[in-house]
């Protein structure tokens, strides 16, 4: 059954890469970093206060100073936005043109995540940093940007799912921004079928959710004969169903979303495969000090010249030192011209330049890891350590 694509209206902006410098930049090994090209930009941030509001039905509130306006001017692409105050009683997600500059309240960490309240990413943020102030962001880019500008202290973002695979956007953003991976958390994804009060399963004609969530519940939704409608995130689907008071539509989202938006749970654990786990990365402006007294994982990214056996040679630097690789991901190297060989036909490129992201089980405090990366650096055209951090073996 074909899915109808519906996207909720929202303000979006493609940000230029942030200004990058190599001075005063903390790193595990400064020699592993290659500076990115500088771009000028002028940023102006000012506060737009909103009065205290609350709504017991949804358990949310807007605090004074919650909404912040951002005018961004780039020397090549000027943008200017004036977001209107949202009438919703729940905190509005930060957008690329709407970032909060409120200082941290007391000692509580402000942790950015993508989505709205009730998202699985919010649960991951609270698992990673208990008692934190979770800050919703509309896009992945916004969360990265908020950490880099000191608007929040950390970000917790998904990097891969056991069923859906890698989140490629976040791999690309890891290279664009100068943040460090300081930890990881794994979260079991348990989908629920939600609807408004008084609505029964037999009343439903359609269901809204993120495309991956809909795919993960394919068998259940097919049996119910429901039309699938894709939206940007699971919690956003629940919020839309609740605020629009839909009687013929439900949402696939988390149990937490049902409580936040006052929806009934018509069915729990409707995913087709119970082994549905998402791995999230914890990101910060500064790296942590690697240790060897507990299991650590290290993430790196590198590029190689094209040639037979070059990738084999790169991976061999880990194998010869008995270092186990847990993940390898290749991504096209962006903003670089496609390579054209002399024997290409009509100028069609024979191959793309690639970046290779690798996770391995070793700490940067381990001499084996240092030797492996020192060896790799001898023939890699680019090498950067993204982070060395404790492994998460538990699933919540």
| Catalytic hit among 144, 278, 298, 302 | 278
379 catalytic, yes or no?
no
Of 378, 222, 359, 225, which Cα lies nearest the Cα of 295? 359
Of 5, 248, 251, 219, which Cα lies nearest the Cα of 119? 251
Residue 236: enclosing H or E segment and its boundaries? helix 234-243
Maximum Cα interatomic distance, the chain, rounded to a whole number of Å: 69
Distance between CA atoms of residues 16 and 39, nearest Å: 8
| Catalytic hit among 58, 280, 302, 360 | 280
Q: Where are the beta strands (DSSP E) in the chain?
A: 4-5, 41-48, 53-55, 60-62, 67-74, 110-114, 133-137, 154-161, 165-166, 180-188, 192-195, 206-209, 227-230, 249-253, 264-268, 277-284, 296-303, 325-332, 354-360, 382-390
280 catalytic, yes or no?
yes
CB 258 within 8 A of CB 192: yes
Phi-psi region of 165 (alpha: psi -120 to 50; beta: other; left: phi over 0): left
String of DSSP letters for 330-383: EEE-TTSPPB--TT-STT--SB--EEEEEEES--TTSHHHHHHHHHHHTT-SEE
**Catalytic residue ranges:** 278, 280
């Amino acid at each position: 059954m074909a899915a109808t694509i519906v996207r909720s209206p929202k303000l979006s902006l493609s940000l230029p890469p942030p200004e990058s410098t190599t001075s005063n930049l903390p790193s595990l090994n400064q020699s592993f970093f290659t500076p990115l090209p500088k771009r000028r930009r002028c940023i102006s941030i000012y506060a737009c206060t909103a009065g205290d509001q609350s709504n017991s039905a949804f358990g949310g509130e807007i605090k004074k100073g919650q909404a912040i306006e951002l005018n961004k001017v780039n020397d090549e692409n000027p943008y200017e936005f004036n977001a209107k105050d949202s009438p919703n009683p729940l905190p509005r997600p930060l957008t690329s043109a709407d970032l909060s500059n409120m200082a941290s309240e007391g000692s509580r960490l402000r942790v950015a995540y993508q989505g709205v309240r009730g998202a699985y990413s919010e649960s991951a943020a609270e698992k990673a940093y208990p008692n934190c102030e979770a800050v919703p962001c509309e896009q992945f880019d916004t969360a990265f940007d908020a950490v880099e500008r000191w608007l929040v202290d950390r970000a917790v973002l998904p990097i891969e799912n056991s069923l859906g695979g890698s989140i490629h956007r976040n791999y690309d953003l890891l290279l664009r921004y100068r943040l460090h991976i300081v930890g990881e958390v794994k979260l079991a994804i348990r989908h629920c079928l939600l609807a408004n009060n008084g609505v029964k399963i037999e009343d439903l004609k359609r269901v809204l959710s993120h495309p991956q969530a809909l795919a993960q519940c394919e068998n259940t939704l097919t049996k119910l004969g429901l039309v699938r409608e894709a939206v940007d995130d699971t919690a956003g689907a629940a919020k839309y169903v609740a605020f629009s008071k839909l009687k013929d539509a439900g949402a696939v989202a988390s149990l937490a979303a049902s409580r936040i938006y006052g929806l009934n749970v018509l069915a729990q654990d409707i995913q087709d495969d119970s082994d549905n786990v998402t791995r999230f990365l914890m990101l910060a402006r500064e790296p942590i000090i690697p240790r060897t007294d507990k299991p650590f994982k290290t993430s790196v990214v590198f590029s190689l010249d094209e040639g037979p056996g070059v990738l084999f040679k790169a991976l061999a630097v880990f194998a010869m030192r008995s270092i186990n690789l847990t993940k390898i991901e290749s991504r096209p190297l962006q903003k670089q011209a496609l390579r054209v060989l002399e024997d290409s036909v009509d100028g069609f490129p024979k191959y793309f330049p690639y970046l290779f992201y690798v996770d391995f089980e070793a700490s940067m405090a381990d001499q084996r890891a240092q030797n492996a990366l020192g060896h790799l650096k001898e023939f890699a055209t680019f090498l950067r350590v993204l982070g060395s951090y404790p492994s998460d073996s538990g699933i919540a």
